[in-house]
Amino acid sequence: MRKPLIAANWKMNKTVGEAEAFLHDFIPLVKEVRDTDIVIAPPFTALSAVASRIKETPVQLAAQNMFYEEKGAYTGEIAPGMLTDLCCTYAILGHSERRQYFGETDEILNRKVKVARSYGLTVIFCIGESLEEREAGQTFSVLQREVQEGLKGVGPEGIVIAYEPIWAIGTGKTATTGQAQEAHRFIREKLSALYGDAASSIRILYGGSVTPENIDALMKCADIDGALVGGASLKPDSFARLVNFTR
Ligand code: PEP
């Protein structure tokens, strides 16, 4: 059985004070949750404050990005050991905004995934097609390439996939449950080709305009094991509702 995972990607939102105010309201709403993993990825500047506040709660900490070198002259970058030092246990890698705006290629992401895993970080590895790619019938070839190249030489342990169709991120357009399940099943087939039986234990999250209104239907799909959530994770009651989705 795959334990559901609901992850918040706060992107470039929330000061330290705003993150603390969120947790003040959010933690009481989820403190009894045991059957779903809860992950929050605040901006780097709030990692330390969030780490202090989530001790002895079911909430786990993620970074939104990470560099593949361990130290050195890389102005502005954050090393994996800096994240584990702050009690991060997860790292989101390959988010489409990183691929699109910051030029992160499959090769760069593969290096990042390998280094993150060598530090024991669980990787939430994001993949997904653009609208043009979907309309050109390239969805499956894009997903196949991103899985194969991004996970080259990487074992199945500590890997979570997030399928995020780019056209659904922050747009209010969610994939239908049919579109999402079809993509998730395809991804699981590709993971099976790479990892054999171990693929059945890998969680595949859906991301793209997930809200309290559509989470229950998405979570009923056979190959959807959780959600990576941007906009709807910014308010405590909304994110708590997502964590407490109806089974
Ligand atoms: C995301 O950024 O990963 C995301 C899915 O955003 P949103 O939920 O706002 O579409």
pLDDT at 1: 82
Arithmetic mean of pLDDT, 170-195: 94
Check if the beta carbon of residue 64 is closer than 8 Å to that of residue 207.
no
Q: How far apart are CA 49 and CA 42, in angstroms?
A: 10
Arithmetic mean of pLDDT, 200-225: 96
Q: How far apart are CA 173 and CA 171, in angstroms?
A: 5
Q: Which atom of ligand 1 is nearest to the CA of 169?
A: 10
Q: How far apart are CA 166 and CA 142, in angstroms?
A: 12
DSSP 153-204: T--STTEEEEE--GGGTTSS-PPPHHHHHHHHHHHHHHHHHHHGGGGGGSEE
Q: How confident is the model at residue 214 (pLDDT cuts 50, 70, 90)?
A: very high
Nearest to 34 by CA among 61, 59, 2: 59
pLDDT at 18: 98
Q: Is 167 annotated as a binding residue?
A: no
Catalytic residue ranges: 95, 164
Q: Which atom of ligand 1 is nearest to the CA of 164?
A: 5
pLDDT at 91: 98
Q: Is 200 annotated as a binding residue?
A: no
User: Rounded to the nearest 10 degrees, how much is the dihedral formed by the CA atoms of 245, 229, 205, 30?
Assistant: -40
Q: How far is the CA of 232 from the centre of ligand 1 (A)?
A: 8
6 lines ligand 1 (CB under 6 A): no
Task: Give nearest CA residue, ligand 1 atom 6.
Answer: 230
Q: How far apart are CA 93 and CA 154, in angstroms?
A: 14
165 lines ligand 1 (CB under 6 A): no
pLDDT at 144: 98
Arithmetic mean of pLDDT, 130-142: 95
Arithmetic mean of pLDDT, 52-69: 97
Q: How far apart are CA 67 and CA 70, in angstroms?
A: 8
Please, is 237 exposed, middle or buried when counting C-beta atoms within 10 Å of its C-beta (0-12, 13-18, 19+)?
exposed
Nearest to 111 by CA among 96, 129, 93, 124: 93
CA 200 to chain centre: 18
pLDDT at 233: 98
pLDDT over threshold 90, residue 184: yes
Query: Could you tell me the sign of the dihedral formed by the alpha carbons of 39, 41, 44, 45, in that order?
Result: negative
Arithmetic mean of pLDDT, 186-214: 97
Domains of the chain, first to last = 5-243 (3.20.20.70)
Check if the beta carbon of residue 139 is closer than 8 Å to that of residue 130.
no
Q: How confident is the model at residue 79 (pLDDT cuts 50, 70, 90)?
A: very high
pLDDT at 175: 87
Q: Is 170 annotated as a binding residue?
A: yes
pLDDT at 130: 94
Amino acid at 104: E
Q: How far apart are CA 242 and CA 8, in angstroms?
A: 10
How many residues are listed for the chain in this entry?
247
Average the pLDDT over each of 2-16, 45-59, 93-107, 159-173 and give the range with the smallest value.
Answer: 159-173
Arithmetic mean of pLDDT, 132-139: 94
Task: Give nearest CA residue, ligand 1 atom 2.
Answer: 230
pLDDT at 172: 81
pLDDT at 174: 82
Mutate to test the pocket of ligand 1, among 98, 99, 210, 239 (most ligand atoms within 8 A of CB): 210
Q: What is the mean pLDDT of the chain?
A: 97
